[in-house]
Structure 1
Amino acid sequence: MAGSRIVRSLPFQIPDDVRLYEIKTSRGVYTRPRKDVQMPLAYAWKRRVHAATRVRYPLLRDDWSPDAPHPATRGRSGYSRISWDRALDIVVGQLDRVRATYGSMEPVLVQADGHGQSGYLQSLHFWGHYLFDMGRERRGWGWWTQQLRNPDSWEGYYWGAKHVWGFDDTLGEPPQDAVWDDVLEHAEMVIFSGNDPEATGLGMSGSTALVMPTWLKKAGIKIVAISPDLNYAAAVHADTWIPLRPNTDSALYLALAHTWIVEGLYDKDYIRTHTTGFEEFRHHVLGEDDGVAKTPAWAEPITGVPSRTIRALAREWAARKTSLSVYFGGPKIRGTRSHLVGRLEAYVLAMQGIGRPGRQFLRTGAPSFYKRALAQVPRYPAVDKHGLAMNPMIEYAIGKGPTSPVFVPRTLAADAILHPPIAWRGSSAALAKTEDQFTRYRFPPRDGHPGIRVVWNENGSQAGSWGHGWKWLEALRSPAIDFVVGIHPWLENDIPFSDLILPAQTHFEHADLITVQRTDLPAMFYQEQAIEPVGESKSDFEIHRMIGERFGLDAAFPPADHWLRAAYEGTLAATKLGITWEEFKKRQVVVYDCPTWDEWVQIKQEHGFGPHEGGLHWFWSGGGTLETPSGKIEFVSSRIAALDPANAERPPLAKWTPHAELQGSPRSHAYPLSVVSNHPRFRFHVQGDDVDWIREIGKVRGPDGYLYEPCWIHPRDAGPRGIANGDVVMVHNERGAVLVGAVVTERIVPGALGIEHGARIDPAMLRGQRVDRGGSINLIAPSPREKYAIGAEITIPEMSVSGFLAQAERIDVADIVATPDQG
């Protein structure tokens, strides 16, 4: 540190007295380095603390007033600095007005979930829900409208694979108990299905995600990458890359199944004892129900994968002990109708006996999550249960259902404002039971309801992180919305559409407790305050505490140090290791020991696993049943058959179904290219695009000097369009347009555009058309309700942010007109 400036960020060195785990196999011993490398953005985060976009003081939109909100100028108006007292008066006044006018807080849409910054307490993104919940409980506010986070990273598994094999508590993905022991000992091949831990992993699991693929190589396991792009992990680790067109994985899986069926290359005993409905699937694959056999030759024009490659993959997959690996699921699991991909992926894994030694569903990251009882790597179960302080606020976003009975899924928030009433099935709560997907909901919850009148925005990134971003910005300008308050450290993305902006802090500006949950080593850090607050910014917790105080909710917000101390003192560090709160604050870190290999073998034995057994071995060996009605893997979903049998979008048996976002559809005549959108390599979702160090690494400098978001385009697509490397390109469809910088490369399949999500929103005008110069591709992604007529029930409110259609054309930068209009 140097005064109020951050000079340097360093990697963390795990202390020598901390015992690391070892995975011992006949192929070698595997562990992790003691040096824990941060993601590049973390080292550059100090640039973000003092970025030009930083909100330093409370700001009020110049042309907003309670009696004349002027919603149409949100995103265009200027702001003026006001005092905190006046800002709090405005917030209190608006909430009092809502209660007086409507009788409760139901007209307030609270957006308070998602990924904020590190921190147990101060920078958490759930305080809005907590504030309104405490107001309901202690001040008679009534319910509020909860924006409920959808299963964004797991969409296709959640809406699809759960109907095949259950796994509600792991959002449709098989649990990962001790899975690395099994894979490193037995597997001979691993399929990277859109998996790119080199890009996604650092932001979620630290350097562990980079280490795990090296274990596979050390073990002599062949890696086959299947994705539309030769992504970073595929380029570094894969032995073979099989490029396929976006959104066509379902056709590939059907063609693999056809090869296995006609050549007898599947586990017939497993199918007989562990599954139901296979005969109907076999009939469909062979074309006995619709006259179309799903052969590799049938799949070739759909996927772009040569039929000989499909057959070779099918034969090698069957001959070798093969596991399939994802990080969360990749772009394939977040595209239109990705629920079919999730189900068909489960089908092909079942055909090869998932759970047999070496045949697992493998995640390369987040090794402490997604389990029944044991972590992916050797850890003490007691530490997983009681070692870390887990903030209960997370249940407002990752829970079994909404806290407020008045709610709307995040994917439908814009339509709840623009096109009420809306009706849908499935709450979208992350941990909801599969049966919930057949439950009908609506917003507003009853006739005569005022709908949404106020937006409480703690997230700041709806337009850039989720789909149909232009529609969300349009919703913020709706005349129905009287007041928008934004709580955020930076003037970016959704925040310029606020009427009142309350300046939040970065995690350098306050003390907090850090719990390391998603990496391989459980740990806690006491985060000292590193610098003085920038301007008059306050932590998210403190902002909500101040508002709560105005309403007499002081007792619901005890002092931060009291809250942190109580949380820490419930952990094993205090109760078992005897480290007091005061001692912990001095030493600043606790990293728990891992069990020795012999201890781990004993722990596994107590949970029914042998030394090199893990993953779904318990199911394969007959040690348990699944959460499906039959207790088995269901090719034909008995729940869908019973509760929604006529739904052509998600029939009881998953099938290849053409739709509007596929090449070859009527829309593809105007928009012939398919966008594949990955997690960014140098950002974390939308965080960090304003960091100049990161932008210089990842951007394309246009002829006007502007740094454009890169767009990978194949030479076959670039040539006919006159696009050369470094050109500025407009990517557009009927939803809008974004500007990007061309990277002409054969690392992307012909017919596709590769654009990472999360670029900053920077609106401009081009030939009289609104465009985003920043390249935020989610602005033109589809909304789930587009598939349905206005007023029709939305049966699957999925998020689709990849595999959608667009056109690309080279533009002259001289035609770009900068504008203060933010959307």
Structure 2
Amino acid sequence: MPHYTAAHWGIQEVIRDRAGNPALRPWRDDPDPPAFAMHALAASTGELRVRRPAIRRGWLEHGPGPARGGRGRDGHVEVDWNTALDLVAGELARVRAAHGNEAIFGGSYGWASAGRFHHAQSQLHRFLNLAGGFVRSTHSYSLGAARVLLPHVLADMDRLQAGHDDWDTLAAHTRLMLCFGGIPVRNAQIDPGGAGRHEARGAIARMAARGCRFINVSPTRDDFGDGREQPALAEWIPIRPNTDTAFMLALAHELIVLGRHDRAFLASHCSGFGRFADHVLGLDDGQPKTPEWAADITGVPAARIAALARELGRERSLINVAWSLQRAEHGEQPYWAALALAAVIGHIGLPGGGIAFAYGAVNAIGYRGPKFHGPTLAQGRNPVSAFIPVARIADMLFDPGAPFEYDGGRHRYPHVRYLHWAGGNPFHHHQDLNRLVRAWQLPDTIVAHEQFWTAAARHADIVLPATTTLERADIGFSSREGHMVAMRPVIAPVGEARDDHAILAGIARRLGFGEAFTEGLDTEGWLRRLYEECRPRAEAAGVRLPGYDAFVERGLIDFSRAAEPPEPLLARFRADPINHPLPSDSGRIELHSPRLAGFGHTGFAGHPRWREPTEWLGAALARQYPLHLISDQPANKLHGQLDHSAASRADRVRGREPVVLHPLDAAERGLADGELVRVFNDRGACVAAVRTSDGLARGVACMATGAWFDPAGPEFDGVCAHGNPNVLTQDAGCSPLSQGCSAQSCLVQVERWTGPLPPVRAFDPPAFVATPPIRLPLANGASPCPSLT
């Protein structure tokens, strides 16, 4: 019987040679597995693994408190597990007693594991809830603006994504797919809980063969497919970054002026069309949102905008809006404007028509599979009410007690002194990393569960070595993809690594609630319980799961073909808006929202509108920094995961991340392919290598995220030697409504690198420091600290 494991990038079969040495190969039923996935095993056993618990030397010498620049520079001392767990428990007990649980932040973000039991966020939140609660974060960097906006004007984002039409429905019905931000296959390689069959590339080809036209409105041609298919399958309309809202309003203007809007749908299914139409026609501000008006903003010829408006709605039309559009200043606006445009066309609720958020974002969108609540570890109740929007962590550390606005409410940042991080790497996904480094010096203590010596580990006070997915048993499950995987260990834990549950159980025992945390179960006991608990839910969805022992023996249950074709997204609402209303205030699509207008958030109107970002190519700042930086997702890894693998390193030039420029923009700067350059703005700089492509709009620079943050030292003044674009992106909320990240609103300049070149040290193993025994208070305030080695 095959042996399987699962990762966010796919299901993998485990094979062994005659000596028992393991290797990974793609699941045989996956039509398009990502090549980089095969490097996970080698990367997991390499020299960058955290093999023993380690304590930052400055924290040992001086005790808890602000690090005064030491985090990231001091070096670490390896210790035994008892010492490390005693120190964590003692510090957590001290902070609780002295400052209360509002001084504790539970940092865990997203893509830690495809396994449902060893999901770091669930484990950490369960632990901290039992410890009396913690300050939490809300929503995500990926969808911070959309998740706040859409429930007000349409529906909850999870509900919408779970209801998207499958690819077969699109192939049968969609005849024009207008894609803002494309359908990037590189993003569709992944899915929380583990991708199954990678279908996006083949689905696009099937749709084209059935007669669907694709239009890719994006600063980059490669946002559609993988770029190679673009000329044959999609028309590319280059657009200035952050100007999609103006483009959409102009399309709506033309449809209304031509009388091509669906009056009946707008009257029966929408609220506030009159106010929206007044704005589009310029009756409220004196500026009609004409194609000529939009052309000056977007760089797209007015004639093409007008012609496209006439094409929309002739046949079944679908507006697809990439997640990246709302990761920008005023990021709510393009999502709201896209919804308004789809409402004007009137195809919402029809198969293959309306609005999508978004095909190509992750593998599961467009997947047909029965949907039920799978194996999930209960986290308990958090008695602490304090929270922050996830992208505002540096603001919280810099300004405890400062007010902030969020979703119509006024709140204050808590005074956090202890951060416990398990799963995720803030030095990958946060913006303005030089600012984050300064903020990271302020808390008393930072604890990190880490598998590798990433920047997150190097900037932590206490580093606890965690196992990878390949070293533990778990259950892989994605609620939309239609498979469940019995993940069995592929290799033994590397060094002294422990799984997050074992780490937290050890701390919980020291704090007196070990039994409540584990409930007397080992890993196998938990897996059996979680699996058996989800069987009735699966059966209610039409999926009969075998008993746990049979599941483990089989290794993989594939029920993705068991589901009937889903009903079209919002079909019941379209058929009967009275008896199937939306969860918005009016029960209808809100093209003008009195509630949002009433929040009084600065610059936030009650309807979609174009607002200039601080940083875009039309800003005064563009005279100093004339390139708009797009920091997109990489094709050869998941965010920063596996960046140290051979697949990721092979794409570097002299060890640096490429920056892609239009040939004319490169020529203006006297730059040629392969040259090392300085990419910079007022926030920082990074070293990168030039690649030229005519698949970019003029004035755009493109750098994939994922290069491990590698600060070059004070002599290079905020330079990342490796090429992480988040040293350049701005750390500011996209609006007072959502406080989502605004990474895609970023202006830079590029120039040839001159002078000494900082070496790349991101993948250098740490040099541990030796120190004599040090005594610090432990959990009970009395036990001595064992010798440190």
Could you state the TM-score of these two structures normalised by the residue count of structure 2? 0.86
Q: 1:64 and 1:595, CA in 2 relative to 1: closer, same or farther beyond 3 A? A: closer
Equivalent residues of 1:727, 1:741 under 8 A apart: yes
Residue 344 of structure 1: how far off its partner (Å): 0.7
Equivalent residues of 2:184, 2:361 under 8 A apart: no
Equivalent residues of 1:344, 1:654 under 8 A apart: yes
AA aligned to 2:274 is E
Matches within 5 A, 1:7-18: 7-13=22-28
Moved more, 628-637 or 302-311: 628-637
Residue 459 of structure 1: how far off its partner (Å): 3.2
2:203 corresponds in structure 1 to: 212
String of CA shifts for 1:3-57, please: whole Å, max 9, x gaps: 99965211213xxxxxxxxxxxxxxxxxxxx345432232110121023221111
Which one of 82, 89, 93 corresponds to residue 96 of structure 1? 93
Equivalent residues of 2:34, 2:189 under 8 A apart: yes
For residue 203 of structure 2, give the secondary structure of its aligned residue in structure 1: helix
CA distance in 2 between counterparts of 1:4 and 1:512 reads 25
1:434 corresponds in structure 2 to: none
String of CA shifts for 1:152-200, please: whole Å, max 9, x gaps: 32234334344332x12537x5762545564333221112221334110
CA distance in 2 between counterparts of 1:5 and 1:505 reads 21
String of CA shifts for 1:649-704, please: whole Å, max 9, x gaps: 211122212231122223222222111122211110111111122220x32x2xxx
AA aligned to 1:472 is L
The question of 1:585 aligning with 2:552 is answered: yes
Residue 583 of structure 1: how far off its partner (Å): 2.5
Equivalent residues of 1:331, 1:802 under 8 A apart: yes
Which one of 429, 434, 439 corresponds to residue 470 of structure 1? 434
Q: 1:538 and 1:5, CA in 2 relative to 1: closer, same or farther beyond 3 A? A: farther
The question of 1:658 aligning with 2:606 is answered: no
CA distance in 2 between counterparts of 1:90 and 1:357 reads 58
Q: 1:469 and 1:512, CA in 2 relative to 1: closer, same or farther beyond 3 A? A: same
Q: 1:670 and 1:97, CA in 2 relative to 1: closer, same or farther beyond 3 A? A: same
Which one of 100, 118, 123 corresponds to residue 127 of structure 1? 123
2:780 corresponds in structure 1 to: none
Q: 1:514 and 1:170, CA in 2 relative to 1: closer, same or farther beyond 3 A? A: closer
Which one of 734, 745, 748 corresponds to residue 682 of structure 2? 734
Residue 208 of structure 1: how far off its partner (Å): 2.7
1:338 corresponds in structure 2 to: 331
The question of 1:563 aligning with 2:543 is answered: no
Which one of 283, 306, 318 corresponds to residue 301 of structure 2? 306
1:418 corresponds in structure 2 to: 398
Residue 2 of structure 1: how far off its partner (Å): 6.1
Moved more, 233-242 or 542-551: 233-242
Q: 1:273 and 1:619, CA in 2 relative to 1: closer, same or farther beyond 3 A? A: same
The question of 1:248 aligning with 2:269 is answered: no
CA distance in 2 between counterparts of 1:815 and 1:390 reads 49
Which one of 507, 514, 529 corresponds to residue 469 of structure 2? 507
1:524 corresponds in structure 2 to: 484
1:24 corresponds in structure 2 to: none
Residue 369 of structure 1: how far off its partner (Å): 7.0
Residue 474 of structure 1: how far off its partner (Å): 1.3
Which one of 571, 574, 577 corresponds to residue 617 of structure 1? 571
Which one of 265, 269, 272 corresponds to residue 267 of structure 2? 272
The question of 1:438 aligning with 2:428 is answered: no
For residue 603 of structure 2, give the secondary structure of its aligned residue in structure 1: coil
For residue 269 of structure 1, give the secondary structure of its aligned residue in structure 2: helix
String of CA shifts for 1:289-323, please: whole Å, max 9, x gaps: 22222211111121111111111211112323211
Moved more, 649-658 or 63-72: 63-72
Equivalent residues of 2:112, 2:119 under 8 A apart: yes
CA distance in 1 between counterparts of 2:468 and 2:427 reads 21
The question of 1:748 aligning with 2:696 is answered: yes
CA distance in 2 between counterparts of 1:224 and 1:6 reads 48
Moved more, 173-182 or 293-302: 173-182
AA aligned to 1:85 is N
Equivalent residues of 1:212, 1:364 under 8 A apart: no
1:447 corresponds in structure 2 to: none
CA distance in 1 between counterparts of 2:282 and 2:595 reads 24
For residue 163 of structure 1, give the secondary structure of its aligned residue in structure 2: helix
2:281 corresponds in structure 1 to: 286
1:457 corresponds in structure 2 to: 421
Equivalent residues of 2:178, 2:320 under 8 A apart: yes
AA aligned to 1:484 is I
Residue 222 of structure 1: how far off its partner (Å): 1.0
1:28 corresponds in structure 2 to: none
AA aligned to 1:341 is P
AA aligned to 1:485 is V
String of CA shifts for 1:597-625, please: whole Å, max 9, x gaps: xxx37xx7xxxx5xxxx122322323522
1:636 corresponds in structure 2 to: 592
CA distance in 2 between counterparts of 1:507 and 1:279 reads 54
1:231 corresponds in structure 2 to: 222
Q: 1:257 and 1:795, CA in 2 relative to 1: closer, same or farther beyond 3 A? A: closer
Matches within 5 A, 1:348-359: 348-353=341-346, 354-359=348-353
For residue 69 of structure 2, give the secondary structure of its aligned residue in structure 1: helix
Residue 270 of structure 1: how far off its partner (Å): 1.7
Could you state the TM-score of these two structures normalised by the residue count of structure 1? 0.83
Which one of 116, 131, 134 corresponds to residue 144 of structure 1? 134
Residue 94 of structure 1: how far off its partner (Å): 0.9
Q: 1:800 and 1:289, CA in 2 relative to 1: closer, same or farther beyond 3 A? A: same
Equivalent residues of 2:434, 2:718 under 8 A apart: no
For residue 190 of structure 2, give the secondary structure of its aligned residue in structure 1: helix
1:409 corresponds in structure 2 to: 389
Equivalent residues of 2:389, 2:740 under 8 A apart: no
AA aligned to 1:584 is F
The question of 1:322 aligning with 2:317 is answered: yes
CA distance in 2 between counterparts of 1:175 and 1:295 reads 35
Equivalent residues of 2:103, 2:134 under 8 A apart: yes
1:554 corresponds in structure 2 to: 514
Which one of 798, 808, 822 corresponds to residue 740 of structure 2? 798
For residue 689 of structure 2, give the secondary structure of its aligned residue in structure 1: strand
String of CA shifts for 1:363-411, please: whole Å, max 9, x gaps: 43689978xxxxx66544xxx226x323344x99xxxxx7631222221
Provide structure 2 residue ranges, at least 5 long, that are not aligned to the other structure: 1-15, 767-789
AA aligned to 1:569 is E
AA aligned to 2:591 is F
Equivalent residues of 1:687, 1:758 under 8 A apart: yes
CA distance in 2 between counterparts of 1:357 and 1:585 reads 38
CA distance in 2 between counterparts of 1:786 and 1:390 reads 32
How many residues are matched? 728
What is the RMSD computed on CA atoms of the aligned residues? 2.8
Residue 346 of structure 1: how far off its partner (Å): 0.8
Which one of 642, 645, 665 corresponds to residue 688 of structure 1? 642
For residue 397 of structure 2, give the secondary structure of its aligned residue in structure 1: helix
Matches within 5 A, 1:369-388: 379-380=369-370, 384-385=371-372, 388=374
For residue 718 of structure 2, give the secondary structure of its aligned residue in structure 1: strand
1:389 corresponds in structure 2 to: 375
For residue 411 of structure 2, give the secondary structure of its aligned residue in structure 1: strand
Matches within 5 A, 1:805-816: 805-812=747-754, 814-816=756-758
2:769 corresponds in structure 1 to: none
Residue 133 of structure 1: how far off its partner (Å): 0.9
Provide structure 1 residue ranges, at least 5 long, that are not aligned to the other structure: 14-33, 137-142, 371-375, 397-401, 427-436, 445-450, 788-793
Residue 802 of structure 1: how far off its partner (Å): 1.2
AA aligned to 2:98 is T
Give identity over the alignment, percent.
26
CA distance in 2 between counterparts of 1:593 and 1:287 reads 49
